[in-house]
Amino acid sequence: MQVSMTVNGRVRKADVEPRLLLVHFLREHLLLTGAHVGCDTSQCGACTVIVDGRSAKACTMFAVQADGSTITTVEGLAANGQLHPVQEGFWDQHGLQCGYCTPGMIMSAVNLLQDTPHPTDRQIREGISGNFCRCTGYQHIVNAVRQAAGRR
């Protein structure tokens, strides 16, 4: 099937198998490897991207379902050589250890801050609750999102 979608500001077209997951389309066809496959059960959130302005787990969507959509991956957040405020927050506040969950965590935080520009710590924890980190105690991640909220 033919798909066409705007990914990180560029229209991308391809012929894909109907059962190809969006995460595999991004990683294998477009070579955007920021969205990770972490669990194969849609529980971990490592594959989170923004689809038409909302966070979505790319392992739960077929690429054909995203046809016509606008998608932002972690690779598309930085602009003009400047990190996105959430990316800066993760850097400054040490919001990562191994980094595997980080792209999905960042994308969930970006979506949270779009909806709630000045979240409480509880709202931050709820906003990232669909993402698992197996390395941190989450406090540095909360600090990173709080910092980003203050810089928006």
Asked whether the predicted pLDDT for residue 75 surpasses 90, the reply is yes
Q: Mean pLDDT throughout 117-142?
A: 93
Per-domain residue ranges of the chain: 2-74, 85-151
The count of other CB atoms within 10 Å of the CB of residue 81 is 5
Q: Whole-number mean pLDDT of the chain?
A: 95
16 near 29, Cβ under 8 Å?
A: yes
Query: In this predicted structure, what is the pLDDT of residue 77?
Result: 97
pTM of the prediction? 0.94
Please tell me whether residue 128 adopts helix, strand or coil conformation. coil
Query: In this predicted structure, what is the pLDDT of residue 144?
Result: 96
**Domain 2-74 annotated CATH 3.30.70.20:** no
Q: Mean pLDDT throughout 82-97?
A: 94
Domain boundaries 85-151, corresponding CATH code: 1.10.150.120
Kindly state the percentage of the chain with pLDDT values over 70: 99
Asked whether the predicted pLDDT for residue 72 surpasses 90, the reply is yes
Residue 28 pLDDT level (bands cut at 50, 70, 90): very high
